[in-house]
Structure 1
Amino acid sequence: MFDFDMLGLAPTLNDALQRANFTQPTPIQNQAIPLALQGHDILGLAQTGTGKTLAFGLPLIDHLLAQPGKPAPKTVKALILAPTRELVNQIAESLRNLTQKTKLRVGTVVGGQSIGKQISFLSRGSDILVATPGRLIDLMERRAVDLSSVRHLVLDEADQMLDMGFIHALRKIAPALGTPRQTMLFSATMPKQMEELSQSYLTNPQRVQVSPPGKAADKITQSVHFLSRAEKPQKLREILSADMEALTLVFARTKHGAEKLMKGLVADGFNAASIHGNKSQGQRDRAIKAFRAGEINVLVATDVAARGIDIPGVAYVINYDLPEVPDNYVHRIGRTARAGREGEAIAFCAPDELDQLRQIQKLMKIEIPVASGTMPEFAEPKKTRNRGGFRGRKPQGANSTSKPAASKRRRPRRRPAA
């Protein structure tokens, strides 16, 4: 059964979808594609792993196929902005698979790669350019790219771009774009700033939402282990040993922590690699390629990969460290249960991470099932002190007529010198 042909796409695109074994559109695609084909601006809200790339990519390609002529040197017809290099590469790969038998040129510009090669590519013009904002501004300042012909703008994972401070970059890029244009903004969450962003850059947008912000995919089984930090390494090895062939993505909080964890796993015989901000783009690309191909089965990452890995075969996501930002938990676990598959998300919670766990559960409006351990006693709300300065029950010998002992006055702490 092939249902994409009901959406009104060009026959060339329907053929490409069939070759890629895409048969039925996801809910976000079903709702967004017809509206985008009509030329509406789109505000799309959907959790990770629901097919947002095709939701904006298919109508974008359809519009470009209907436009005759090649792009002029240095010009761009459609611009897609994404927050990370990994996500830029992932989007570009998906679009190239759909444009293989067309004359459309899909290019990428990201930091960490040769700017000279990117200038050379841009000199010939691009139908679709997928870029990180920072590198794009570098190229604009060098007059290597002309954005005045852009008639289609896509902001993917816009909430993360806000978190990463790219709103200032967007304010530099937007005035250089052509008008009138169609703008599509896609995001997994909808913070207040996102409303302001949509009002600034979208015109009468059609809002498409297929799941509440902060909700994980339905096919993800979640659990949490309460344990000390010292117990985390052993618990991780137990879980990995139980299914040695499964593709497992492990999230650490820091670059140093991710690298140390990966090296420890390799020393213990696990087939592991890592990606984080201290790795070159080439190292990160090779690690993801090896992970996708099954050459390594454990990938340790920081949040640089929370939205940049689209590998349907990821069976487990392990939050070795809970993220500081609760939204990032949703994006992390969205790396599993992709393309209709099932997946498992496992969280480790040390005593000093209880607040992060509470914030995550509040955002998702669920209580994550406990797999092992118990929540420490101090995680309970503190009891209110009574007038006598005691917590809870009065100690033996205390009575209602006795006066509370005068509390000692604490000296104010001296602040260290700046």
Structure 2
Amino acid sequence: MSFSNLGLRAELLRAVDEQGYSTPTPIQRQAIPAVLQGGDLLASAQTGTGKTAGFTLPLLQRLADGPRPKARQVRALILAPTRELAAQIGDNIQAYGRYIPLRSHVIFGGVGQQPQVDAIRPGLDILIATPGRLLDLHQQRHVDLSQVETLVLDEADRMLDMGFIHDIRKVLRLLPEKRQNLLFSATFSTEIQALAGKLLNDPTLIEVARRNTTAETIDQTIYRVDREKKRDLLAHLINEHQWYQVLVFTRTKHGANRLAEQLSKQDIPAMAIHGNKSQSARTKALAAFKSGTLQVLVATDIAARGLDISELPHVVNFELPNVAEDYVHRIGRTGRAGSLGQAISLVCIDEYGLLGNIERLIKRPLEKRIEPGFEPDPNAKPEPIENGRRRQGASRGTPDARQKQAADPNHRPQRRRRPRRRPQQA
């Protein structure tokens, strides 16, 4: 089957051909006709399967012959969880819609809003946005969502994980009741099904891959190593195998900064991206990584969500994620659209429990190796990982310490304040 069999107009087929694509992926074969029919859609596909084109191509076609928007109005709204994913969707729309006279723009936080306000003022056919900036501009009366014809929630599972559910509900209240809704998610979790039940009307259901599976084109390997030897092992593997483009995941922003600095000192060009970095710094690092001038990009999960790097060869889990599903999302940055990729995980004894959760999720054991010269200490004992960090010291958490505190008549236990849940910054 070719794209010409999916009912797309000549202008879109020309643009697709110029992008070098000839055969649609499974998600595209099913989603494009469904979206063209105008009904609601609930789609699940593992990352890297071409789902963005699966909704942008039919969306462009449906909007092509409609009325132009009036001042500050939006005809189609695409919500994305992170700046990088929003920018990626915007790039796709520009590429596929180059021969169709539609106006589109991307808005997100972390940058000045005036250029975004100026772009929205004459009206837009397509607005790609992160929830927070969208609500800010609507509150200031810079954008009118009362005429939205199509709503797309991309990577809805990640938006829920990041705490955006309240913002999503606020956005939904601003939209007209009659509209087309397209919901894309990597998984069909209970939360996603609940959201779909409230949002979608008799949707077409598409699931092109088994839930929580990894692409067969990804070679996955575990290296057992002590925690303090991880950085040296990573540098060794990069130099020994001459890896030229490596995306490395850490759990924390501080860990990403520290690892990038340490690799750079070892003559391995590296930069970090995370929520505390300015948008200009993140854009600069990503551009250098894509162009090949930056050898290693160290990222946190949220910042890396939506990265679309053509034929990325290597992904390294410097630290395993606390949530097993995030492993699937991480390594899905490589092995995309049929290309081969390699996923390496550096696992210390503290993380064996996390590794077990991952293997149960993907329903298969992963190959384990020990690199000569980096053998783990057979006498090492695990330290619990709590909220992404190892527990610091034993004075507060050991049974002996608690018994001493209980025996102290002057000891008053501290009350723990429950942290407020806020949407995480991308």
Match of 1:367, SS state, is coil
Change (3 A) 1:375 1:163: farther
Q: Does 1:82 align with 2:54?
A: no
Q: Does 1:36 align with 2:35?
A: yes
Aligned to 2:179: 181
Alpha-carbon distance between aligned partners in 1 of 2:174 and 2:236, rounded to the nearest angstrom: 54
Task: State the TM-score, normalizing by the size of structure 2.
Answer: 0.87
Alignment of 1:145-164 (within 5 A): 145-164=143-162
Note if contact 1:351-1:376 (Cα within 8 Å) is conserved in structure 2.
no
Aligned to 1:166: 164
Change (3 A) 1:238 1:196: same
Change (3 A) 1:88 1:376: farther
Alpha-carbon distance between aligned partners in 1 of 2:77 and 2:381, rounded to the nearest angstrom: 48
Aligned to 1:65: 64
Alpha-carbon distance between aligned partners in 1 of 2:200 and 2:317, rounded to the nearest angstrom: 36
Per-residue CA deviations over 1:292-335 (Å, capped at 9, x if unaligned) read 11111211111123322101231110000111111111111000
Given the alignment, which residue of 307, 310, 329 partners 2:308?
310
Tell me how far 1:42 sits from its aligned partner. 0.8
Q: Does 1:23 align with 2:22?
A: yes
Aligned to 2:418: none
Aligned to 1:349: 347
Aligned to 2:114: 116
Aligned to 1:50: 49
Task: Report the residue type matching 2:119 in the other structure.
Answer: F
Task: Give aligned pairs, total.
Answer: 388
Match of 2:338, SS state, is coil
Per-residue CA deviations over 1:256-278 (Å, capped at 9, x if unaligned) read 11011001111110121111111
Aligned to 2:138: 140
Change (3 A) 1:265 1:412: closer
Change (3 A) 1:163 1:375: farther
Alignment of 1:188-267 (within 5 A): 188-267=186-265
Alpha-carbon distance between aligned partners in 2 of 1:27 and 1:378, rounded to the nearest angstrom: 47
Match of 1:63, SS state, is helix
Alpha-carbon distance between aligned partners in 2 of 1:128 and 1:243, rounded to the nearest angstrom: 44
Per-residue CA deviations over 1:60-80 (Å, capped at 9, x if unaligned) read 11100121x321110100000
Aligned to 1:417: 414
Per-residue CA deviations over 1:141-183 (Å, capped at 9, x if unaligned) read 1111000110101000000001111110011000211231111
Note if contact 1:137-1:173 (Cα within 8 Å) is conserved in structure 2.
yes
Aligned to 1:393: none
Aligned-pair identity in percent equals 44
Given the alignment, which residue of 280, 288, 299 partners 1:290?
288
Per-residue CA deviations over 1:232-263 (Å, capped at 9, x if unaligned) read 01110111112335211000111111011001
Aligned to 2:279: 281
Change (3 A) 1:47 1:411: same
Tell me how far 1:352 sits from its aligned partner. 1.4
Alpha-carbon distance between aligned partners in 1 of 2:254 and 2:317, rounded to the nearest angstrom: 16
Q: What is the root-mean-square deviation of aligned Cα atoms in Å?
A: 2.0
Alpha-carbon distance between aligned partners in 1 of 2:298 and 2:266, rounded to the nearest angstrom: 15
* Structure 2 gaps, min length 5: 383-401, 407-411, 416-426
Alpha-carbon distance between aligned partners in 2 of 1:195 and 1:25, rounded to the nearest angstrom: 27
Aligned to 2:331: 333
Alpha-carbon distance between aligned partners in 2 of 1:232 and 1:314, rounded to the nearest angstrom: 22
Change (3 A) 1:91 1:379: farther
Aligned to 1:272: 270
Which entry has the higher C-alpha Rg, 1 or 2? 1
Tell me how far 1:228 sits from its aligned partner. 1.3
